[in-house]
Amino acid sequence: MELNTIKSAEGARKPRRRVGRGIGSGLGKTAGRGHKGQKSRSGGYHKVGFEGGQMPLQRRLPKRGFKSQNLKFNGEVSLAALEALGAAEVDLLSLKQAGLVAEIVKNVKVIKSGELKRAVKLTGIGATAGAKAAIEAAGGSLA
């Protein structure tokens, strides 16, 4: 195979449709536009979503909710996950290396789910009120 012998696959390149070029072409006279109406005229068309004056779907449906783009930077870690991790000192970097939070995460919070039996020192990580009480009860601390 050489560059000057490369060809497209059979049927990949169809000839372009030449409209309005006589009766024999099958696309003469109205050139595939039908008879009369806005869509048959030159320059006559409508915006996307237009339903002929009927209230369009995107305006009929109620507005609902909002999803903050900052949510992707927040992560959660359970007490059970901290127990399984088995480290005495835990920070954001160690959680990322263990795969407990995504690489994109900037803020992590410990939630009270599961039990914690060993003392864990958290640095730069938040915790819910229940999780904080459980960590301190196990002899750990938050910094």
Q: Say which DSSP state 20 is in.
A: S
Task: Please name every residue paired with 26 in a beta bridge, in sequence order, or none if there are none.
Answer: none
**Could you give the strand order of the β-sheet that contains 126-127, starting from the edge strand earlier in sequence?**
74-78, 107-111, 126-127
Number of domains comprising the chain:
1
Task: Please name every residue paired with 76 in a beta bridge, in sequence order, or none if there are none.
Answer: 109
38 lies in some domain: no
Task: Please name every residue paired with 110 in a beta bridge, in sequence order, or none if there are none.
Answer: 77, 127
Question: pTM of the predicted model, to two decimals?
Answer: 0.56
User: Dihedrals φ, ψ of 142, to 5°?
Assistant: -115, 135
Range of the domain at 100: 70-142
Digit-coded pLDDT (tens) for 53-79? 999 999 999 999 999 999 999 999 999
With bands split at pLDDT 50, 70 and 90, how would you rate the model's confidence at 107? very high
Digit-coded pLDDT (tens) for 25-42? 999 999 999 999 999 999
Whichever domain contains 132, its CATH number is 3.100.10.10
81/78 Cα distance (integer angstroms): 5
With bands split at pLDDT 50, 70 and 90, how would you rate the model's confidence at 92? very high
